[in-house]
Structure 1
Amino acid sequence: MPHRPHIPSPGRRTVLRGSLLVPAAAALPSAVGAAPALALAGRPEAAWGVQVGSVTASSALVWVRSDRPARMLVETAATESFRRARRWFGPLIGPGSDFTGTTPLYGLPAGEQVHYRVTLADPGDPRRTGRPVYGTFRIAPARRRDGVRFLWSGDIAGQGWGINPDIGGYRVYEEMRRLDPDFFLCSGDTVYADGPLQPSVTLPDGRTWRNVMTEEKAKVAETLDEYRGNFRYNLLDRNVRRFNAQVPSVVQWDDHEVRNNWYPGQILDDARYTEKNVDILAARSARAFHEYFPVSTPHGSYGT
């Protein structure tokens, strides 16, 4: 691995404003780290990249999303050559989790760099596998005095600003990736489920901001599939996927994952919603949140 540059201590919370998007069919991701980008016909494809979370001094949780039912396999090694790799057999992933899955890793070396690759296999024929997707992360140090360096931000795709392909998408993620922190603390508002996007926005200077659009981002989220689509939206951005493949995250839950300033028991007086019971909305969003991030906290503890 290259020498890591010095990372200054983060100051006040940096708001992630960058965003990009045109019709989503033109923005479908290719697998991060998978080469070449063309899918193997009829085999599972991990086009949404990989993520790592819940990192301790000896363990971590690896996330992936398939395009069809698949068995998840993770390999870890000390180097990119994957010599003497360890194998971790993960779950069978399918529509019940929107084709997302996580595999826990244990007995990892404290403070060391870990390289990993995720392969998805056909459940009916384990020899039929898609192209592996690669990532890397650092295990937390065993001693507190060894220290860690991290970045802190949040508020992704809010106030109508989505992924704008004209400016290169969420470019801030690429800048953060280059800093090579030990982890990223995403301090809530990981999506704006209550903030639909418009295809374009006219800026004060007359220029046009374009958003990549998906069906789920064209209205407020109410159904489980709509909440899933909000979390999936940010993974359309290549910068996000490259960042996720290199930097583990600690992800927090805030309010816009459901609705601005919501509270348990709230009944909405908002014409945009056909489902007025916020407890129902929160439960759906909490399930999608848990499906789309590598977090070990059971989804039942969120939002209710």
Structure 2
Amino acid sequence: MIKLNRRRLLAAGTVAAALPTRIFAQTSEAARPRLLQGVQSGDVMPDGGVVWSRADRPARMLVEYATTEKFTDPKRIVGPMALEATDFTSRVRIRGVAPGQTVFYRVSYLDLGDYKTVSEPVGGHFRVPPSAGNDVSFVWSADTVGQGWGINPDVGGMTIYEAMRRLAPDFFIHSGDAIYADNPLQAEKKLPDGKAWKNVVTEAKSKVAETLEDFRGNHRYNLLDDNLRRFNAEVPMLAQWDDHDVIDNWYWERRLDNDTRYRQKSVAVLAAYGQRAFREYMPLAGDLDGPMQLYRRFSFGPRLDVFRIDMRSFRGPNGANRQAMAGPDTAFLGNRQIEWLKGALKESKATWKMIAADMPIGVVVYDDWRSKSGSEAVANGDDGPPLGRELEIADLLAFIKREDIRNVHWITGDVHYAATHRYDPSRAAFTDFTPFYEFVSGPLCAGGFGPNTLDRTFGPEVVFQKVPPPGRFDLAPSEGSCHFGHVRIDGATGGLTVTHRDAAGGVLHALSLAPA
């Protein structure tokens, strides 16, 4: 039970002056606000991070935090109102914490209905990035609840999140497709052996998402999983979005006039709803009302900088992707983001510079996989000099070489299998770049596919990949479709080790690199 008085709340800031003089926690549990979606943290900075939660009614967010698990040095923040306008989600930014400290926090909500009832607190923790040469580790993957594979209580739910949690990483990069707004669930999905995969199904997940409430419901569905909520409470997230956060292979100009599942035919409208729900439910820094800017550098001490980029918001229309000259139709990251990324990479003093992308560079991803036509990603499949969206990447890679920016590698998801690719100019049609690796992982809970064709423009070579058996398509999670990646950097030596892992955490492949 939380008891708050006016003196303690005033210590949290001037906003507390608006709270009542006395607040009583009622004894009836049913009458108290609840945090059904748990808590999560994200967008960690050198002095703190973002804490997120959701109330079940109009309420005021209250956050208590400390640098000891026993809360011997607590501080309090009176947070924002959680109202219908944000689907009762809310967040606060914790600041002023020393580098390397672990922040323990507890979130409660004050019921605005009677202005005296306070929820039971729900706790979590995250580590503030270090300033010294500490060890650093993180996990990454993509694609949650796709192709009709949802939360199955018979197998313990999405246990891959528990496998990642047991590694105690410093943070998690969700490389996109946090939801599958265009993939409804059925109560059962048949497995090849004749048995059934049994899904938890909610109203929002029983149809394609067309309204803001539908998209919000997709996010709430994932948070029904105990493994995910436990993981979120212990591992801060750097979140990205991709196509299924709206609809498969979307771009702003696209229309759905021939898709009978949708009454809303404008993808731009769907994308606006999808983006709003994504921003409400992910622990992102910044306000909800201005333009979304996902691209950002995150520093984790002298050994690691992560550059989160956005390959969805600024792209031109999908098409043949073979333009000889750069222009609006060849945009993928867009000029403003590219210039930011160049500057941030050049300024970085970190040993390792990891670009967190939501799509791979040299893997051919068709806009229409059935006819194998058009481009959804960067590669156009012609194996020749850069054309279309490849022009942007060629310019970026040449800049990295010209400025002698070392130890730059990429991590990504999207293609539903695990792989390590090495890009080398000696095998490439475009040669003005320094060799680098691209590490691909996923899905978290979705069907397994692949492998996709590699485009030779930038000279990729398969170092490792784990794909479904020949002839298999839409491999089930119970058949080994799911993967995640783990990166560990030794603070003393600067050595980096990347491991691909299965859903239980078993190591499939490991690669160790020394800094150049």
The number of residues matched between the two structures is 266
User: Which residue does the alignment assign to 1:54?
Assistant: 43
TM-score computed with the length of structure 1 as normaliser: 0.84
User: Which residue does the alignment assign to 1:262?
Assistant: 250
* Letter in structure 2 aligned against 1:155: D
Provide, for residues 242-297 of structure 1, a one-character-per-residue CA deviation record: whole Å limited to 9, x for no partner: 00000000000111101111111111121111001000000000000000011125
Moved more, 280-289 or 108-117: 108-117
8 A Cα contact 1:39 1:131, kept in partner: no
CA-CA distance at 1:108 after TM superposition: 1.0
Q: Kindly, what percent of the aligned residue pairs are identical?
A: 52
1:296 aligns with 2:285: yes
* Aligned equivalents of 2:28, 2:176: Cα separation in 1: 34
CA root-mean-square deviation: 1.6
2:201 alignment partner, one of 198, 213, 221: 213
* Letter in structure 1 aligned against 2:73: R
5+ residue gaps, structure 2:
1-26, 294-312, 315-516
* Aligned equivalents of 2:28, 2:41: Cα separation in 1: 23
**Against the structure 1 CA distance between its residues 214 and 124, is the aligned structure 2 distance closer, same or farther, given a 3 Å change threshold?**
closer
User: Which residue does the alignment assign to 1:151?
Assistant: 139
8 A Cα contact 2:62 2:108, kept in partner: yes
1:227 alignment partner, one of 205, 215, 233: 215
1:178 aligns with 2:169: no
User: Which residue does the alignment assign to 1:237?
Assistant: 225
**Against the structure 1 CA distance between its residues 39 and 154, is the aligned structure 2 distance closer, same or farther, given a 3 Å change threshold?**
farther
User: Which residue does the alignment assign to 2:56?
Assistant: 67
2:72 alignment partner, one of 83, 96, 109: 83
If asked which structure has higher relative contact order (CA below 8 Å, sep 6+), I would say: 1
5+ residue gaps, structure 1:
1-37
* Letter in structure 2 aligned against 1:270: D
Provide, for residues 19-55 of structure 1, a one-character-per-residue CA deviation record: whole Å limited to 9, x for no partner: xxxxxxxxxxxxxxxxxxx982322111210000110
1:188 alignment partner, one of 157, 170, 176: 176
CA-CA distance at 1:147 after TM superposition: 4.4
User: Which residue does the alignment assign to 2:456?
Assistant: none
SS at match of 1:226: helix
User: Which residue does the alignment assign to 1:114?
Assistant: 103
| Larger-Rg structure | 2
User: Which residue does the alignment assign to 2:267?
Assistant: 278
8 A Cα contact 2:93 2:285, kept in partner: no
2:152 alignment partner, one of 161, 164, 167: 164
* Aligned equivalents of 2:286, 2:208: Cα separation in 1: 26
* Letter in structure 2 aligned against 1:301: M
User: Which residue does the alignment assign to 2:122?
Assistant: 133
Provide, for residues 211-237 of structure 1, a one-character-per-residue CA deviation record: whole Å limited to 9, x for no partner: 100011111101000000011110000
